[in-house]
Structure 1
Amino acid sequence: MCPGLTPTAAEWLDQDLDSPRTLTGHPIRHRYRRPGEPDVWPQADVTLVAPATTNTINRIALGLTDTWVAGFVAEGIGKRIPIALMPCVNATYAEHPQLPLSLATLSTAGVRVLYGPGGFQPNPPGEKWPYPWDAALDAIEDL
């Protein structure tokens, strides 16, 4: 397992970016590597994008690869790497008309989208519900 983060998530975990490396044996990626830098990860067999925010989902679906995570997933789609994506959006964001379009685009591209019954179901704004990690992990086992 190789953990990757958006820039915001990396900022949140700023003080603890080495813990996942200890657990997985691989560094966290959260930025593009510089020209000439070696790739520190092996080729992916499967990719899980979770918890995926509205921002990340829309970036990937629209091909906006200005963040490392969006670029990694967009490239994975092109390489035909099996990908599962499970959102984490509140019910207000879920009402935005772009979200269902982005989820449909990703599904059409071969991404297994875990949204709705059996996956993530939006919660009311400000309320925290348990994230269905079991469904996400089961999906990558199936892939």
Structure 2
Amino acid sequence: MTEQTLSGKKPFLYVVVCAAGVAGDVGRLITAAQERNWDVGVVATPQGLGFLDAEAIEAQTGYPIRSAWRTPGEARPLPPADAIAVAPATFNTVNKWAAGISDTLALGILCEAYGMGIPTTVLPYLNSAQAAHPAYRRSLDQLREMGVLIGSYEPHKPKAGGGADRFRWEEALELLAPALSART
């Protein structure tokens, strides 16, 4: 439980969405979080934006989707995050994040979250050829060392897509639950 929760406000979840085939179903995670009394804001990678129905997501959350840096003096469109779920997370985002590369707003938020102690989970969605690359395994190990909670999705076959039926959106909330209750 956070100070926001103690003051009567709902905790705030950032959902970071990457450019992956299942991204269009992110509303499932938003609904699950809202049913658990979370307010939700979406941060998309620049490429991830093209996979989303922005109008539907903004109507569902009540917040604009963020994907670009604010200009100096511009108001923050989202409250501070109490937790972050990266879902779906691509090979590219996992590797850049673990390496500390902050070249998009989404990665900047993720890199800062570690230093701010914000509970974070990641649900990778990638194919088995990408998952076989040695950098990916090292990146997952690095994220685990940082305290990031990693989802259980098994990569799908290359060039076949799929796996959407096995992508457990709610797992993000299940993984975050113990970390959040420890903060009470």
Partner of residue 76, structure 1: 113
Distance 1:110 1:24, change over 3 A: same
Residue 136 (structure 2) aligns with: 99
Identity of aligned residues (%): 35
Asked whether 1:3 is paired with 2:42, we answer yes
What displacement does 1:84 show?
Answer: 0.5
Alignment length, in residue pairs?
137
Q: Could you say which residue in structure 2 is the equivalent of 1:124? A: 157
- 1:58-81 CA deviation, whole Å, 9 max, x = no partner? 111111111111111111111000
What letter corresponds to residue 170 of structure 2 in structure 1?
D
1-side partners of 2:139 and 2:177: how far apart?
24
How far, CA to CA, are the matches of 2:170 and 2:118 in structure 1? 21
State the Cα deviation string for residues 83-117 of structure 1 (Å, max 9, x = none): 00110010000011100111111110111112xxx
5+ long unaligned stretches in structure 2:
1-39, 180-184
Amino acid at match of 2:171: A
**TM-score of the pair, normalised by structure 2:** 0.71
Corresponding residue SS for 1:49: strand
What displacement does 1:136 show? 2.1
Greater strand content:
2
Task: Name the structure 1 match of 2:4.
Answer: none
User: CA separation in 2, counterparts of 1:141 and 1:27?
Assistant: 26
Scaled by the length of structure 1, the TM-score of the pair is 0.90
Aligned letter for 2:153?
A: F
Q: Which runs of 4+ in 1 moved over 6 A?
A: none
RMSD: 1.2
